[in-house]
Structure 1
């Protein structure tokens, strides 16, 4: 079950979304807000799994809302303006839907959100229960699904609306977002060290001055990710 919230200043749009939500068994509507600031205040005491977010609102637009949200919930943008789509996906939104939203398109979007949340539940277990080697994932590349061995991955880089996976032998480009990959990779072997980078711990050559060296590539350690990286790093902390 996904507990969800609507943040939109258009009553007709809210009514349509409420109707769509009522038809889907795995969605539970917790609240609706026309004021984004009130929505943010509500989330402090009543968290949700998924937010349907309008992009153009008074006081606070959707992009600013997501910056303040800080990944506390999955977000599906609902907008009448297509030109904000790329900026939306840079904030790792699940999907970007254009108003008025048809039910079939809406269902595909929330199903994607449900699958992402399901992955999150799967990885919430002790790190020592994950195998330290082996395993694979499938990555969508254009029209086909490509198998990628986990042992071959060096690091992953997010660039605007696509992701590059660097392996021992190749670079694989996919439209899958960083958050999705972070949630399906074993957390005892892969760590997000920057907004744009996930690294394989056993492929790190050296660490110096908040920078990681993997082969010839220097990868920065972001300030917000440093503490968790230090906790995951065998043998000590980065100075």
Structure 2
């Protein structure tokens, strides 16, 4: 498989951590990270980088200044919390524009677009992996470590204010990640948010009755905001 040599540049370490977690799930990406845009520019200009994941607002060098100096030497995907930069970015022929917080599905779509344009080595064809071919697990942040949890083991997730509890058949895992963040990073399907406080694994549902979802002995309410989408997906009218 052809590897996409990728460099993430962002002066916020937390933003780089999110990109690194996403990249670990994509087998054709080889990611390095830096918080120094000047160092990143030198590396990208050196010809050893295929793709740059570039933050727009950085103190030492803005994303637009970076693009001017890079002069199209590699593909660029912009990452920012501010959508008004999108039009200016496309004037530099950027490959895509990711709005923070960046979901895994949106990240995957963007890097697949770049990967599909990479010339194959002689005798090799470029095959873009589908989401089904990606690792079926996530690393969930607990108080002291990252815990690998297989998606197939997750039954549902209950959210608190700044944390969530992941329920499997055998354990409860308290994570410092919010329910909203988990909803952005878990694959859809099988996971679906059905209430402001709950995400369920659709393949774990045993029955649905009125406005309640049953997963074995667990009973999960369906919120008014999510009712129509849930009914459409499961056909429960």
TM-score scaled by length of structure 1: 0.49
**TM-score, normalised to structure 2's length?**
0.49
